[in-house]
Amino acid sequence: MTGLAVVCRRVVHIYRVDGNDVVALAGVDLDIAAGEMVALVGPSGSGKSTLIGLLAGLMRASAGQVRIGTVDISRVSDGEMARLRGTELGVVLQGARRNLLPYATVRSNIWLAQRRAAKVRPGDVESPERILALLGLTGAGHQRVEDLAPGAAQRAALAVAMAASPGLLLVDEPTSQLDRAARDEVLAALAAINAERGTTVVAVTHDPEVGAKLGRVVTIRDGRVGAEGRNGREFAVIAGDGTVQLPPELLDSYPPGTLLAVEHLNGKVMLVADRED
Ligand SMILES: Nc1ncnc2c1ncn2[C@@H]1O[C@H](COP(=O)(O)OP(=O)(O)OP(=O)(O)O)[C@@H](O)[C@H]1O
């Protein structure tokens, strides 16, 4: 399978906790092309994991549209969602070992993840050995997960997520708590998945170097797309409702309620503060 595109339109997600609403996502607009690599960054609690959970179909958006390839996953049945998760979506949740059966071998973990794909596409399931080679784990198939070093466990979790040759790989914090060498191996594995399989990769990360390596960096702030970095430059992003977030460091000088005149001249948009001094 080649990469799947992702489209989010005005995506809202609300958790209900003890009768109170927690707005985790407040209108996310995001387009990711098939075969792209994207890092989701942002402060703790800004909504990154919630967005990954929605893209993975682990939860349903409270409002808005989430499209993966041609499928609007906000509308599909639970059965269809389960089929998508077993065939077209690869997901690695935070904490590599949570995604794996600890007493089983790496190869058995991959086989288990291939069961649904084997039913849906019999004869078209990649051999565990080839997946292990892609992840730099050649020869590790017989090892039990609990015996793996942390970096190898993370790559084993990626191998399991890639078991059914998905078009979209979603990864939450792939390099947290890894030393530099292990982190570089995980980054090389993600790059290989993208280059050799064409898989679209979306990774949540707190690590700026991971973001830089993935190329496109989307900052989630307060449950919305706050900014985007491309090739080392930081951009504000116009949301579907026309709003634009100012960089947070400007908010001390321009607090909420500040009036800004919007001037549009020669292809430039300027925001001019209405100061009385
Ligand atoms: N299961 C849940 N029940 C209730 N509230 C939740 C739940 N999961 C997340 N939240 C809340 O939703 C908001 C967004 O959380 P989320 O975990 O998506 O952010 P995050 O950017 O991934 O944070 P971190 O970087 O700390 O993992 C936060 O206010 C959080 O407290």
Residue nearest to atom 2 of ligand 1 (CA): 15
- pLDDT at position 1 is 64
Has residue 124 got a pLDDT over 80? no
- Taking the centre of ligand 1 as the mean of its atom positions, its distance from the CA of residue 133, in whole angstroms, is 35
At 277 the pLDDT is: 57
Is there a domain that residue 265 lies in?
Answer: no
For residue 22, is it within any domain?
Answer: yes
CATH code assigned at 37: 3.40.50.300
- In this prediction, residue 175 has a pLDDT band, given cuts at 50, 70 and 90, of very high
pLDDT-derived band at 268 (thresholds 50, 70, 90) equals: very high
Helix (H, G, I), strand (E, B) or coil at 225: strand
**Ligand 1 contact via 24 beta carbon (within 6 Å):** yes
Per the structure, how many domains does the chain have?
A: 1
Distance between Cα 94 and ligand 1 center (Å):
13
Q: How many CB atoms lie within 10 A of CB 238?
A: 13
The answer to whether the CB of 17 is under 6 A from ligand 1 is yes
Q: What are phi and psi of 19, to 5 degrees?
A: 80, -5
Q: Is it the case that residue 53 has pLDDT exceeding 90?
A: yes
> DSSP assignment, residue 73?
T
Ligand 1 mean position, distance from CA 45 (Å): 5
Q: How far apart are CA 143 and CA 126, in angstroms?
A: 19
User: Is 258 part of any domain?
Assistant: no
Q: Is residue 221 a part of any domain in this protein?
A: yes
User: Does the beta carbon of 46 lie inside 6 Å of ligand 1?
Assistant: yes
| β-bridge mates for residue 48, sequence order | none
The distance of Cα 83 from the centroid of its chain, to the nearest Å, equals 20
ipTM: 0.97
Is 142 contained in some domain?
Answer: yes
The whole-number pLDDT of residue 99 equals: 93
- Quick check: CB of 20 below 6 Å from ligand 1? no
Single out the residue of 63, 49, 54 nearest to residue 85, CA to CA. Answer: 54
- Regarding the beta carbon of 208 and ligand 1, being less than 6 Å apart is answered no
Q: Distance between CA 238 and CA 259 in Å, rounded? A: 18
Opening angle at CA 274, ends 271 and 277, nearest 5: 130
Has residue 121 got a pLDDT over 80? no
* Domain assignment of residue 85, yes or no: yes
Domain contains 264: no
Question: What per-residue string of b and e applies to 158-182 under the rule 16 or more CB within 10 Å gives b?
Answer: bbbbbbbbbbbbbbbbbbbebeeeb
Cα–Cα dist 129/18, whole Å: 48
- Strands, E, within 53-177: which ranges? 63-68, 71-72, 89-92, 168-172
CA distance linking residue 249 with residue 85, whole number of Å: 39
Q: Which of 188, 25, 198, 169 is nearest to 99 (CA)?
A: 169
Q: Does any ligand 1 atom lie closer than 6 A to the CB of residue 205?
A: no
- Assess if residue 276 is contained within a domain: no
Domain span at residue 104? 6-236
